[in-house]
Amino acid sequence: MTKKALPKFVYGDRGYVRFIRRSRGQSVMMKEEPGTPEFWEHYNLLLKGREHVPAKRNFEALILSYFESEAFRSKKPRTQADYRKYIEHIRIIWGHLDPQKIETHHIFKLRNENADSWRRANYLVQVMVILMNHARLIGFLKKEHGNPAKGVPLFKQQSDGWEPWPDDVRAEFEAVATPRARLVYELCLGLGQRIGDVLKIRWNHIEDGAYDFHQGKTDKPLLIPFTDRLRAYMATVPKEGMTVICNQGGLPPTYAAIRDEMNRIKDAMSHPDAKRYVTHGLRKNATIELYLAGCDDEMVKAVTGHSGVEMLKKYGGQVRQKVLAIKAQAARDVAEQNKSRT
């Protein structure tokens, strides 16, 4: 490469190039290929009088780089927490390894080693896809290597997701719950939202008997009118803090505090299976009740905030199929009746 093709202060030197700036006493060998992103990054640092300190190419450096990236920092706090949890597992087992040494069969083995929890196994594969894509972006992985995590099959979900609370469990919980636990229960059931969004409800979010908010996970704006049942129950709730659900001092409670309170109540219940039903299952109860009331998919999504039909299938399950089948067969009957009249 001729000097004319090189930027200011850069000269050819024994097959490489050297940055020479005599006024600052700088003379630095640059081993990056001129014109590449790595070259310009090093060059700009040298212009500022700083030396380039190459990161050691391992998963420790890759993970640190990803956590500092806009792609990670733009995610919701809940998503960031989930990513950190599973990426930490990667850091512990592969932190010292060069990402270029990881092949598809290594990731497939990682998945199988965590097969006792399909959710954890799948999440590890998914974060590896993200990490290895970031490795390509920062030059830790060459283009021709591709992304070794892509194409690793995920385990099929082993159930229809969170179980809805059966009527007998609901009846006993309503009878023995503490006031705060009962309030959580009624809000989750009446609004069909995740517990995280329910805990954030402030009194000023409620206007004309409706909850106006942005979902924490999706950032989707929703306005959900209260059901008659929820409206009647909320009329009995005193305003003791800024949030509807609060602790004795009027401050918002932590998720852990609410979880533990709900669990203590279920542990003390006489129903033998009470402990297996989690608070998130009430979101499924709400979805089922909407379908049984004759709502179509779009109406259900307008309340629950689900983004697609696939998630509704997971939450509505057989009830959704049953309701749609009844409507479809009724439509056939009407069509047949009209045909016979002509």
The Cα–Cα gap between 141 and 300 comes to: 44
- Asked whether 173 and 265 are in contact (CB, 8 A), the reply is yes
In this prediction, residue 157 carries a pLDDT of: 66
Helix (H, G, I), strand (E, B) or coil at 85: helix
- Sheet of strand 10-13: strand arrangement: 10-13, 16-21, 26-30
Any idea how long the chain is?
Answer: 342
Residue 310 binned pLDDT confidence (cut-offs 50, 70, 90): confident
The pTM of this model reads: 0.63
Strands (DSSP E) along the chain, which ranges?
Answer: 10-13, 16-21, 26-30, 206-207, 210-214, 221-225
Cα–Cα dist 321/327, whole Å: 10
Q: How far apart are CA 219 and CA 241, in angstroms?
A: 25
Given a cut of 80, whether residue 308 has pLDDT beyond it is: no
**Mean pLDDT, the chain, whole residue set:** 88
Can you say how many angstroms the Cα of residue 238 is from the centroid of all Cα atoms in its chain?
33
Q: In this predicted structure, what is the pLDDT of residue 53? A: 47
Cβ atoms of 288 and 296 closer than 8 Å: no
Pairing of strands 221-225, 210-214: antiparallel
How far CA 108 is from CA of 59, 149, 190, in Å, comes to 18, 8, 42
Average pLDDT over residues 277-293: 93
* Angle, helices 309-341/297-304, rounded to nearest 10 degrees: 150
The DSSP annotation for 200-230 comes to T-BGGGEETTEEEEE-TTT--EEEEEPPHHH
Distance CA 334, CA 328 (A): 10
Neighbours of 151 (CB within 10 A): 12
Q: Say how far apart CA 14 and CA 287 lie, in whole Å.
A: 70
What confidence tier does 45 reach under pLDDT thresholds 50, 70, 90?
A: confident
Closest CA to 210 of 193, 219, 218: 193
Mean pLDDT of 31-54: 78
Is it the case that residue 56 has pLDDT exceeding 80? no
User: Parallel, antiparallel, or unpaired for β 10-13 and 16-21?
Assistant: antiparallel
Q: Is the pLDDT of residue 311 over 50?
A: yes
Rg of the chain over Cα atoms, rounded to whole angstroms, equals: 29
For the cut 60, the answer to whether the pLDDT of residue 91 exceeds it is yes
Identify the residue with better confidence: 23 or 202.
Answer: 202
Q: How far apart are CA 158 and CA 122, in angstroms?
A: 12
Q: How confident is the model at residue 3 (pLDDT cuts 50, 70, 90)?
A: low
Residues 6+ apart with CB under 8 A from 79: 217
Least confident of 1-5, 57-61, 112-116: 1-5
Average pLDDT of span 273-284: 94
pLDDT of residue 202: 95
Q: What is the largest CA-CA distance in the chain?
A: 100
Of residues 157 and 56, more confidence is placed in 56
Q: What is the DSSP-derived secondary structure letter of residue 243?
A: B
User: 118-149 pLDDT, tens per residue?
Assistant: 889 999 999 999 999 999 999 898 877 789 99
Q: What is the pLDDT of residues 165-201, one digit of tens each?
A: 999 999 999 999 999 999 999 999 999 999 999 999 9
CA distances to 139, 151, 245 from 52, in Å: 15, 36, 52
Q: For residues 123 and 51, which has the higher predicted lDDT (pLDDT)? A: 123
